[in-house]
Amino acid sequence: MSENGGLNWQESVSSTFENFAGQFVEQAPQVIAGIALLAAGWLVAYLLAAATKRVVGGIDLLFKRGSKSGNAKQARMQRTSILIISKAVFWTVMLFFIAATANMLGWKMFSGWMDGVITYLPNLIAGIAIVLGGILLSNSARTIISTAAASAGVEHFDLLSRLVQIAILFTAIVIGVEQIGINVQFLTSITLVIVGILLAGAALAFGLGAKTLIANVIGSQQLRQQCRLGETMTVGQFEGIVTEVTRTTVCLETEAGRTVVPAKLFLEQASSFMAASANRQEARHDS
């Protein structure tokens, strides 16, 4: 019995090994072809990722040439975005080659799962690409607008550039998420309501806060048409020689010294002017 048991065990192991060796020899060409296909896929994915990195980096460089400033934080974010885009391209190509290899080797379950992933993959890639493109575009737009506004002497240019960046980024995120297939209609509606309330509040606050500023600006514009530098101006309790008219004020040289008068007083109160020649005649008469 022991000899028969030992013989059966040896025959079983030998038969299993022979079957495995036979299947290996039979499948070896397909396995080698699959490995070669994966290697070719890796090479193609690497080249496409490198090309994508160069193209996206070149586009980002074009945006940077339109501005003279930038900070390290924005540069790091842009480098990270470029790296993510190139990696996404790499793994997308690799997934296609992995699916092709699975189909070639006859791995039905794995190939079926990969087919489902690949079917959904274009929408996912498009959504991610839109969001990442929005990040790059918003950062570049912020830099360009900030530089242009600062060169033009616009006040609060940083706030303006930040608002433009947020608007572009929010739009890209909404479009990207919808492209992926997530229903964001409710979120979009809530966001629009919140943004509308904030804009209405900001407009009201700006209108109330800018009332005096606007009155001074209008008064300054009217004042420029009525008087000249060197004339003596009397408005309200102030009297002096006009030395400068700014966008919101008028500077008078009075007996007490240099006095800055809000230009809106020119609209609210009666004012009078005396020409420079009359000032000189009056000075001679006094002397």
The answer on 181 and 226 residing in a single domain is: no
Residue 24 — pLDDT band, cuts 50, 70, 90?
low
Distance CA 137, CA 78 (A): 10
Residues 204 and 219 in one domain: no
Q: Which residue has the tokens 């209108």?
A: 207
| Residue 171 and residue 135 in contact, taking contact as beta carbons nearer than 8 Å | no
241 neighbors 189 (Cβ within 8 angstroms): no
Q: What pLDDT score was predicted for residue 283?
A: 47
Looking at 209, 235, 259, the residue that finishes a domain is 209
Instruction: Please state whether the predicted TM-score (pTM) of the whole model is above 0.85.
Output: no
Please provide residue 160's backbone torsions phi and psi, each rounded to the nearest 5 degrees: -60, -45
Classify burial at 17, counting beta carbons within 10 Å of its beta carbon; exposed 0-12, middle 13-18, buried 19 or more: exposed
- In this structure, are 192 and 259 located in the same domain? no
In the chain, alpha helices (H):
2-65, 72-105, 108-151, 157-180, 185-209, 211-226, 265-268, 276-286
Q: Cα-Cα-Cα-Cα dihedral of 197, 199, 204, 206, to 10°?
A: 150
Q: Which domain holds residue 78?
A: 2-209
For residue 187, pLDDT over 70 is answered with: no
Q: Domain check: are 22 and 143 in the same one?
A: yes
Q: How many domains does the chain have?
A: 2
pLDDT score of 257 more than 60: yes
The more confident residue out of 160 and 175 is: 175
Residue with tokens 């339109």: 66
Q: Measured in whole angstroms, how far is the alpha carbon of residue 82 from the centre of its chain?
A: 14
Please indicate, yes or no, whether residues 32 and 75 belong to a single structural domain of this protein: yes
205 and 217 co-located in one domain: no
Nearest to 223 by CA among 177, 189, 165, 267: 267
Domain boundary among 173, 188, 209: 209
How far is Cα 278 from Cα 282, in angstroms, rounded to an integer? 6
Lowest mean pLDDT segment, chosen from 2-6, 14-18, 73-77, 86-90? 2-6
Q: Give the percent of the chain with pLDDT over 90.
A: 1
**Domain co-membership, 202 together with 269:** no
Task: Count Cβ atoms within 10 A of the Cβ of residue 177 and give its class: 0-12 exposed, 13-18 middle, 19 or more buried.
Answer: middle
Task: Please compute the mean of the pLDDT values over residues 242-259 and round it to a whole number.
Answer: 84
Of 156, 176, 209, which closes a domain? 209
What are 118-128's pLDDT values in tens digits? 677 778 778 87
- pLDDT at site 1: 46
In this structure, are residues 21 and 63 in contact, taking their beta carbons and an 8 Å threshold? Answer: no
- Do 105 and 29 lie in one domain? The reply is yes
Residues 170 and 46 reside in one and the same domain: yes
> Is it the case that residue 66 has pLDDT exceeding 70?
no
Same domain for 171 and 222, yes or no, is no
Cβ burial, residue 19 (10 Å; 0-12/13-18/19+): exposed
132 & 233 share domain: no
Q: Cα-Cα-Cα-Cα dihedral of 184, 186, 192, 195, to 10°?
A: -90
| 249-254: strand order across its sheet | 257-262, 249-254, 238-245, 232-235, 271-274
Helix (H, G, I), strand (E, B) or coil at 57: helix
CATH of the domain at 256: 2.30.30.60
Do 182 and 74 belong to one domain?
Answer: yes
